[in-house]
Amino acid sequence: MSPTVADVNAAVGRLWPVAGAEPWDAVGLIAGDREAPVSSILLAVDAVLDTVREAVDNKADLLLVHHPLLLRGVTSVASETYKGSVLTTLIRARCALIAAHTNADVVATGTSATFAAKLGLVNQRPIVPAADPTRGIGRIGELERPTTLGRLARTLGGLLPATATGIRVSGDFDASITTVALCGGAGDTYLSEPAVLAADVYITSDLRHHPASEARENARTSGLSSGTGGPALIDVSHWASEWLWLDAAASELRDALPGVTVTVSEIRTDPWDFVVTQ
């Protein structure tokens, strides 16, 4: 007998406890009949029209996404709006929707931990630990062998799925890199965390001009006085950094829900299509 949407939601809650979500987040069951059976699940970073159509076309009973669809205030879900169209399409197809967001960021096998493991970091620990020291925001660790900033950026280019914006770097191409801090998704909030400041490089996404500029200028200033500055910066695609987690999440769901088919969407939901270099 197939598990129900409620069973899947409970399994998601055990793997990525809602208690670990940030207070502003909106995780868990977004749409769907709790009593409906589930034999097939599709995983994606975003609930956008393309991934929703993929779920419906593949007859998935449930779409599990990282980013909540209804995180911001919504006054209409009319079908001519993006979010309304997504919900209308899913409901008509009897496909439920669940989000695991910051609750999936903080666990020991979450987004940043998966990113760090794929990069080969050892002695992993959170940038901002939770009460359980194995959990928390971001990850910091060491490379097994030192490399240069340029080579590390090229390694990321091969590790992450390709996107139009590629990999942006602030720092000396030949700078030696051993200690790496990273945060999957948008992470400029943590630029001043002690663990980040102690790293040779900080890898994250959506770095804005002012926080990035201030971090690099502070690094230059402290370097002049102490001989050591703050980290170099590497900015990668938000979608790409979190897409890496989906395979790990799918494996955990298969173990938690025997007999349920769990697949990962290959659709690129990064919003940028091309870039013009100067």
Number of domains forming the structure of the chain: 2
Out of 104, 139, 169, a domain closes at 104
- For residue 215, what pLDDT is reported? 92
Question: Using alpha carbons only, what angle is made at residue 121 by residues 267 and 18, rounded to the nearest 5 degrees?
Answer: 60
At residue 106's C-alpha, the angle toward residues 16 and 182, to 5°, is 140
Cα distances from 125 to residues 122, 132, 138, 192, 243, in angstroms, run 9, 11, 8, 17, 21
CATH number at residue 29: 3.40.1390.30
Do 166 and 112 sit in the same domain of this protein? yes
Q: Which two tokens stand for residue 215?
A: 């971090």
d(CA 212, CA 188): 8
Residues 143 and 93 placed together within one structural domain of the fold: no
Beta bridge partners of 43: 64, 264
Q: How many CB atoms lie within 10 A of CB 25?
A: 17
Tell me the residue ranges of DSSP E strands in the chain.
28-31, 40-44, 62-65, 96-99, 121-125, 128-129, 136-137, 139-148, 168-170, 176-186, 201-205, 232-236, 261-264
Point out the domain boundary residue: 208, 223, 240.
240
pLDDT of residue 73: 82
Same domain, 26 and 78: yes
In a domain, 256, yes or no: no
Task: Give the pLDDT of residue 223.
Answer: 60
Asked if residue 263 is part of any domain, the answer here is: no
pTM for this predicted structure: 0.95
What secondary structure does DSSP assign to 47-73, as a single string? Answer: --HHHHHHHHHTT-SEEEESS-TTSS-
pLDDT tens for the chain, residues 1 to 278: 899 999 999 999 999 999 999 999 999 999 999 999 999 999 999 999 999 999 999 999 999 999 999 988 888 899 999 999 999 999 999 999 999 999 999 999 999 999 999 999 999 999 999 999 899 999 999 999 999 999 999 999 999 999 999 999 999 999 999 999 999 999 999 999 999 999 999 999 999 999 999 999 988 887 644 445 789 999 999 999 999 999 999 999 999 999 999 999 999 999 999 999 88
Indicate the DSSP class of residue 27: -
Helix axes 245-256, 111-119, angle to 10 degrees: 120
Q: Is 251 helix (H, G, I), strand (E, B) or coil?
A: helix
Residue 214 belongs to what domain range?
106-240
Residues 153 and 227 in one domain: yes
